[in-house]
């Protein structure tokens, strides 16, 4: 279970800390490619994937309700909401 969330000092990663104090990082690239907003879904359907600049950064975070997080990116995307359960799924996928 995620206890706290922060942006890395260079804004290239989202840092997730669980109740045991274990820290994991999700890159801005991975998060942007995993976005589920309508524009990102359309891009995936049209192009097969989302093109993301290698230097993309996280420019902001906003809590949405009690279980969601809106992440803003340097490419202008600011519409995707990442439920905590989805962030947990993404973290699990980096361990494999």
pTM score, whole prediction: 0.90
Taking the C-alpha atoms of residue 30 and residue 48, their distance in angstroms, rounded to an integer, is: 15
CATH 3.30.43.10 fits 2-94, yes or no: no
95 within 8 A of 89, measured Cβ to Cβ: no
Question: Can you say whether the dihedral through the CA atoms of 2, 63, 57, 96 is positive or negative?
Answer: positive
Taking the C-alpha atoms of residue 40 and residue 51, their distance in angstroms, rounded to an integer, is: 10
Q: Residue 83: enclosing H or E segment and its boundaries?
A: strand 81-83
Taking the C-alpha atoms of residue 81 and residue 73, their distance in angstroms, rounded to an integer, is: 12
List, for residues 61-92, the tens digit of each pLDDT value: 999 998 899 999 999 999 999 999 999 899 88
HSE-CB at 81 with a 13 A cutoff on CA atoms is 7
Helix extents (H) in the chain: 28-33, 38-47, 84-94
List, for residues 46-68, the tens digit of each pLDDT value: 999 999 999 999 999 999 998 89
């Amino acid at each position: 279970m995620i206890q706290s969330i922060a942006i890395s000092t260079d804004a290239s990663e989202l840092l997730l800390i669980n109740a045991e104090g274990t820290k994991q990082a999700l890159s801005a690239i991975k998060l942007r490619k995993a976005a589920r907003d309508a524009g990102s879904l359309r891009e995936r359907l049209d192009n097969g994937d989302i093109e993301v600049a290698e230097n993309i950064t996280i420019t902001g975070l906003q809590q949405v309700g009690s279980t969601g997080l809106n992440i803003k990116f340097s490419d202008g995307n600011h519409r995707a909401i990442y439920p905590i359960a989805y962030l947990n799924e993404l973290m699990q996928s980096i361990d494999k």
